[in-house]
Structure 1
Amino acid sequence: MKLICGILLIVFGALLFSKVHNIDDFADALRTQQVPVTMIILGAIILLISWFGCCGAIRESYCMSMTYSILLFVLMIGQLALVIYMWVQKDKFLGIMGDTVERAWEHRTRRSDYMDAIQISMKCCGRSGYADYSYQGKFPPSCCRDTNNCSNATVYPIGCKVAFVEFWDRNSDIIKYAGLVIAGIEFVGFIFACCLANSIRNYRRRADY
């Protein structure tokens, strides 16, 4: 199961990251594509952990089984640390989400697809509201419910910074509790992995006598 999850995270992260191929500065790509980069790294870590677990069970290797259990424990601790961070630093986390929209707005002249993606997914327009586009005399199609007739009657009234922060504010509790549940499952897996490693070690000891 972890192997499949790891592969899916890498694939989806790579598909998202492929959108930055027109950016010349790779450091800029890393800043603006934090989500897909995180998905790729997390997928690679889960894939590595799953590989140790599968090989340890198939080869009945005590070393690999213990490595799997230790890596699983480290992943669980990291996940708990992220959940606790979101719990106690919620305002700071929401501020980071607001800064994401600010960066997308600042880069709109060079790469408009970041802002377009936020406007389409969040059903919003501009950084603070549709008035932000008054300088160009028209709204981009991503700002309107009807892309073929983008006008004051069909434009989204809410600004993207407010919409994006409110979205994460509504869903942060779901993310936190889901993280705790997954961490609990990983802890159970850690216990079973330790038991498996101990069984393999005892079996090898008995076989040597």
Structure 2
Amino acid sequence: MDCGTSMAKYILFIFNTIVSIIGILGIVFGVLILNSIGTIEVNGQVGFPPQALLPIVLITIGSIVVFISFLGCCGAIRESVCMTMSYAVCLLVLLILQLTIVVLLFTHKDKFNMAMGEVIDKAWESRESRKGGVFDAIQTTLKCCGRSGATDYASEFLSGGLPASCCDGSCLNISNIYGGCHDKFISVMSGRSEYAKYAGIGLIVVELVGFIFACCLANNVRNYKRRNGY
């Protein structure tokens, strides 16, 4: 094995080890966010609120990255053309998917915010969601009140006051009442999508480097085995 191939082999191994660590950190970060959001219980069913979408996506992508990086490490150490090329193809597919998501987040930010707002609007307008406690759970996790604000509960003011999830303490004190869930949810999801965009760009650059090294290593190993076959 020539010097260039050996160097590509060890660089690819070190590279994938680092990427695996990054993927594990992404999973841990996603779990921590998910834990801070918590779960909601509606009609005896336990699940995650809408704002848990991004950390779940982060955990999923982190898990895929760790698996692909492990494949790359094994391919590099074993000098397996099949494993290395499988790694390169998986990396290319992941890279294209991430690039598509990042581009969509940059070019369709207003549509993304509008879609997030519609999640709250539909939850508020759904009689089943409000009676079943879904909206109350959203208010608890987001620390918000009503769709646009406490005034959405105008009829409830006359028949018992605001729900406890609308306030930080006693609802008799106006300063304790939270703002509307529509704007709060858009703000939370928009802020997290900003982090996701730039993290995605960094990951794409790293994956592109790995893809190039994987192709070079597979090509060099294939040529080396072909020469030794004669």
Answer whether TM exceeds 0.5 for this pair. yes
Q: TM-score, normalised by structure 2?
A: 0.68
In 2 relative to 1, CA 182–3 (structure 1 residues): closer, same or farther, beyond 3 Å? closer
Paired position in structure 1 for 2:225: 204
Say yes or no: does 1:152 pair with 2:170. Answer: no
For normalisation by structure 1, the TM-score amounts to 0.74
Q: Any conservation in 2 of the 1:97–1:165 contact (CA below 8 Å)?
A: yes
- Is 1:127 equivalent to 2:135 in the alignment? no
Assess if the C-alpha contact under 8 Å between 2:139 and 2:166 holds in 1.
no
CA, structure 1 residues 117+31, in 2 after alignment: closer, same or farther (shift >3 Å)? closer
1:57 and 1:65 in contact (8 A); partners too? yes
CA, structure 1 residues 104+56, in 2 after alignment: closer, same or farther (shift >3 Å)? farther
Aligned equivalent of 1:117: 141
Q: 2:210 aligns with which of 175, 189, 192?
A: 189
Q: 1:169 to 1:36 in 2, by over 3 A?
A: closer
**Which consecutive residues of structure 1, in runs of 5 or more, have no partner in the other structure?**
none
Question: Could you tell me how far 1:90 is from its partner in structure 2?
Answer: 1.9
**Amino acid paired to 2:175:** A
Structure 2 distance, partners of 1:148, 1:154, is: 6
CA–CA distance in 2 between the matches of 1:160 and 1:204?
A: 63
Please say which structure displays the higher CA radius of gyration: 2
Question: Corresponding residue for 2:87?
Answer: 68
Distance 1:170 1:36, change over 3 A: closer
CA distance in 2, matches of 1:35, 1:23: 25
Runs of 4+ in 1 over 6 A off after TM superposition: 20-26
Counterpart AA for 2:205: G
Alignment partners' CA distance in 2, 1:92 and 1:162? 14
Name the counterpart of 2:6.
none
Q: Counterpart of 2:27 in structure 1: which amino acid?
A: L
RMSD, aligned α-carbons: 3.5
1:81 matched to 2:104? The reply is no
TM-fit CA distance, 1:168: 4.3
Report Cα offsets for 1:45-97 as digits up to 9, x if no partner.
22331221121122221111111111111111111111111222222111111
Does the 8 Å CA contact 2:142/2:184 hold for their aligned counterparts?
no
Report if the CA contact (8 A) 1:30-1:37 is conserved.
Answer: no
Alignment equivalent of 1:9, drawn from 3, 20, 27: 27
Classify the secondary structure of the residue corresponding to 2:91.
Answer: helix
C-alpha distance in 2, partners of 1:204/1:172? 47
Identity %: 40
**1: CA distance between counterparts of 2:107 and 2:78?**
43
Equivalent residue number for residue 11 of structure 2 = none
Tell me: higher relative CO, structure 1 or 2? Use CA pairs within 8 A at least 6 residues apart.
2
